[in-house]
Structure 1
């Protein structure tokens, strides 16, 4: 396995784990602050926008580089 292959695999696996962990952190933050249903939805939308933006940026970069 080359270094490039290892980097691609590890980035995919570790970033997926990080995104799942960030979802748990957002959930825990809402639970500890007694945010309720509406507050929890707002937390996931607002704080989840950063994760969605990061993933979307990577998809766009890959799409542009493939052309």
Structure 2
């Protein structure tokens, strides 16, 4: 027990909110890359599509878990 929480509670919290915060930070970084490189609309779309496609898997996992637990 750390600060009154079990290891399972801590890992569940960080797997949900920690990874979610990391995804938001990565979206900010991708936006900065597009801005600094003057990528334009299509280039920005390609950057977000190519670098952000991994986020879809994490979001799908959350939706599938929610759907199966209902």
Q: TM class, shorter-chain normalised?
A: 0.7 to 0.9
Shift of 1:52: 2.0
Does 2:15 match 1:11?
Answer: yes
Give ranges in structure 1 of 5+ residues lacking alignment.
Answer: none
Q: How does 1:1-67 map to 2 (within 5 A)?
A: 1-56=5-60, 58=61
Cα offsets for 1:20-61 (capped at 9, x unmatched): 0000010000000000111111111111112223544x45xx
> Which structure has greater helix proportion?
1
Give ranges in structure 2 of 5+ residues lacking alignment.
Answer: none
Moved more, 32-41 or 47-56: 47-56
* Alignment TM-score, normalising by the size of structure 1: 0.73
* Alignment TM-score, normalising by the size of structure 2: 0.71
- RMSD (CA atoms): 2.1
